[in-house]
Amino acid sequence: MLTLVLALSVAHAAPTPAPPAPCKAETDALAGAGPSAAGKAFADLAACDATIAKAAADAAFGTILAGPGGDAAMLAGIKVGAADRVRAWVGALDANDRSTAIDTLGKSCAAEGVPAFWTAAHGALGDAFWSAGWFKGLDECRDSTVRPILTAAAEAPVKDRTRYLSVIEATSRNLGADALPLLESLLVKHGTDAELSTYIVRAFGDAAGVGDVAGLDAAASVKAVEAIRKAAPTLPEKGVDQARVTLGALKAAEQVGDELAVVRYKSVVQPGGKLLYGVFVREVATCKKGDVKVEAHHAPVTIVAWPDQVKDRVTPGITPPVGVWRLGLGEKCKGTSVVTVTTSDAPLKDAAAYAAWLADQQKELAKAQPGVKVKEFAETALDL
């Protein structure tokens, strides 16, 4: 009897519940997530189980929006093996969101699977990798498998000049100091091209960390300055103009930048190795009795300087309070005066060019002060 009771008890016992499905909470969260929450939900599922997340990736990335959640999902998708779906998702974003996502991928090259994602994207996208700006994300992706993508593009024949500027910028930022030999070789290759030479010279600054949040790489900067100085004599005028700007960004000594002025204007360098400019000073005085008096002082000046530097460098030595030219017309007639210093817009070829420039200044002054007799002083030539 007891045996029968026990048997009936076992027969009528409640069934053992089935174990919960793996990552059920995360799976349910993703299934119920709206677009703004789907990215985080997918990343959470991927952290729980890569296989389940990979199977869910195709549908999930049809919902996920760009942004922090999308970035997390993007990196998680790559990690679980859904890189192709991630690439399609990034490619379908609008231009601004795509650029942000690409930048995130570039900064995440230490994450699992990201370098392989980049090399696969380069192979799969073809020209779109360049035309859609994917390559710009590589400026901070310094993985050894990725760098050759950029260096090969920098060394390839130039078909799209605008794109080439971005390519060498990205390459130089990625390689840093290691980009300097490449840039030097590119200057040899493209140095006579006015436009391309400016791109390449500018990239020396990128290689040395100009504008980088980490700051300028001092050692790379020194090397970049020397490379630019060495190449400058072979560059076209636009290239030398850019070299001056880049040297300033590299914190080169002012004298180094000044030397380039002689290179830039080599066709008019004077026998002593300097450049010839004109200096014209007009002093207009309103005297005590209301009458106007005008004096003009002028002289040629030889100096190693760019046109926009000459006025500032000459003025202190010729005007009050310590200047050697005899100014002070207003004080002499017990009134006030205004002194204006003008220098030539470019270096002058010779004495004849100086005389022509001076004649133009004299005409302009006479036009500005009609009926007033101008007293002129031809000052001794300046050599600075």
Residue 13 within any structural domain of the chain: no
The tens digit of pLDDT for each residue in 68-122 reads 999 999 999 999 999 999 999 999 999 999 999 999 999 999 999 999 999 999 9
Task: Among 239, 264, 289, identify where a domain stops.
Answer: 264
Read off the pLDDT of each residue in 16-35 and give the average, rounded to a whole number.
Answer: 83
Residue 236 within any structural domain of the chain: yes
Read off the pLDDT of each residue in 348-355 and give the average, rounded to a whole number.
Answer: 98
Q: Does the model's pTM come out above 0.85?
A: no
CA distance 126 to 166: 17
Chain position carrying tokens 């008890």 = 9
Residue 223 within any structural domain of the chain: yes
Q: 215 with 259, same domain?
A: yes
* Whether pLDDT at 297 is above 80: yes
Q: What are phi and psi of 20, to 5 degrees?
A: -65, 150
Chain position carrying tokens 């050894």 = 144
Answer whether the bond into residue 321 is a cis peptide, omega within 30°. Answer: yes
The number of domains in the chain is 3
**Which residues, 6 or more positions from 104, have their beta carbon under 8 angstroms from its beta carbon?**
71, 74, 75, 137
Q: 247 with 195, same domain?
A: yes
pLDDT of residue 320: 86
DSSP 16-47: PPPPPPTTHHHHHHHHH--HHHHHHHHHHHHH
Residue 270 within any structural domain of the chain: no
Q: What are phi and psi of 48, to 5 degrees?
A: -80, -45
To which H or E segment does residue 277 belong?
A: strand 275-286
Task: Among 74, 99, 127, identify where a domain stops.
Answer: 127
Q: Which of 233, 238, 256 lies closest to 200 in space, CA to CA?
A: 238
Q: Which domain holds residue 176?
A: 146-264
The tens digit of pLDDT for each residue in 214-240 reads 889 999 999 999 999 999 999 999 999
DSSP 340-371: EEEE-SS-BSSHHHHHHHHHHHHHHHHHHSTT
Q: Which of 140, 124, 131, 218 lies closest to 172 in space, CA to CA?
A: 140
Work out the mean pLDDT of the chain and round it to a whole number: 92
H helices within the chain, ranges in order?
2-11, 24-32, 35-48, 50-60, 68-80, 83-92, 95-106, 114-125, 128-131, 147-155, 161-175, 180-190, 194-207, 218-231, 237-249, 254-264, 307-318, 329-332, 351-368
Residue 3 within any structural domain of the chain: no
pLDDT of residue 321: 85
The enclosing domain of 233 has a CATH number of 1.25.40
| Residue 280 φ/ψ region, left for φ over 0, alpha for ψ in the -120 to 50 degree band, beta for the rest | beta
* Whether pLDDT at 48 is above 60: yes
11 pLDDT tier (thresholds 50, 70, 90): very low
Q: 183 with 247, same domain?
A: yes
* Whether pLDDT at 12 is above 90: no
Residue 87 within any structural domain of the chain: yes
Residue 57 within any structural domain of the chain: yes
Cα dist from 337 to 138, 288, 332, whole Å? 60, 11, 10
* Whether pLDDT at 3 is above 60: no
Residue 141 within any structural domain of the chain: no
* Whether pLDDT at 209 is above 90: yes
pLDDT of residue 15: 57
pLDDT of residue 111: 95
pLDDT of residue 19: 59
Tell me the sheet residues that pair with 293. Answer: 285
